[in-house]
Homo-oligomer: A and B are copies of this chain.
Amino acid sequence: MTKGQWEAPSVLLAVDLVILTLRHARLHVLLIERGVEPFKGALALPGGFLRDQDEAIEAAARRELSEEAGLVDVHLEMIGVYGKPDRDPRGRVVSVAYLAIAPRLPEPVAGTDAAGACWTPVEQILSAGMEVAFDHRQILVDGVERARAKLEHTTLATAFCGETFTISELQQVYEAVWGVQLDPRNFYRKVQSARGFIVTAGPMRRTENGRPARLFKAGPVQVLYPPMVRTV
């Protein structure tokens, strides 16, 4: 509560992005090599400070998404706030973390500002002990866990795919993000019976090897029913 002469302390506000995508059937996150202190030369999540007093937080996240990864119109949601008093040696910096999901991309990161942007397998950071700057490991852990959880009861998986996709492409998303193997036949039935999850995108087909598959696009529904249960 504001009382009397006391003045509330102010903080610097930043945004950080966990940008996930699928590459070679594995989950990758975009990391940037830092060009300035602190943690100069180390890898970190893309992000930055609010540009000015009037910039909305999500707008800042979208701006960084565009500037650092060349991405527009992708799924974006807030993960949480990271504000431990000592998390940044420059002073009291509070960071709002966002989760972004990018569909399959051409090999290089298109339209990038930052020189050292690179897609890194999530496993390398989570299981192998690869280092990242600040508290970005924790932010990544929380972002990946958010994605895993939302695959269960929302249609988020379609955000990893392009405009249209086959059912086995969708299955690859679940397998990569959850780190499990799924039976394609049961996955088929499951996905088709989830109301509004996917809808057929014309009678077109696409091929690379074996029988061509039907194409689908994301359905109208956000919340999945029945959910895709990740058996524990």
Contacts and interface: CB of A to CB of B under 8 A. Distances in A.
Contact of A80 (B12, B50, B80): B80
A9 B53 contact: yes
- Interface size, A (range): 35 or more
Nearest to A36: B2
A92 B8 contact: no
Contact of A12 (B10, B81, B84, B231): B10
Contacts of A73: none
B83 A8 contact: no
A121 interface: no
Nearest to A51: B9
A51 B229 CA distance: 43
Nearest to A152: B153
Nearest to A68: B1
Contacts of A229: 226-227
A96 interface: yes
